[in-house]
Amino acid sequence: MSHEPAHPHPVRHHDHGTWLVQFTGRVLVVCPRCGGRALVVPRPGLPAPKYFSALLFQPRRLTCAGCGAVADWTAEERGAGLVGAVPGGTEDPFFRRPLWLQTRCAGRILWAYDEEHVDALAAYVGARLRERHASPTMAMFARLPAWMKSAERRDEVLSGLETLRALARLSTPADRSDAAHERGDRPRHHGTRLFRGGPY
Q: Which pLDDT score, from 0 to 100, does residue 117 have?
A: 97
Predicted TM-score (pTM) of the model is 0.86
Residue pair 25/40 in contact (Cβ under 8 Å)? The answer is no
Q: How many CA atoms lie within 13 A of 65 on its CB side?
A: 6
Q: Which pLDDT score, from 0 to 100, does residue 192 have?
A: 44
User: Along the chain (200 residues), what's the average pLDDT of each consecutive run of 10 residues?
Assistant: 50 71 95 98 90 89 98 89 89 96 96 97 85 65 91 96 98 96 72 47
CB environment 15-33: b (16+ within 10 A), e (fewer): bebbbbbbbbbebbbbbbe
Spatial CA neighbour of 144 closest among 94, 184, 105: 105
d(CA 98, CA 116): 18
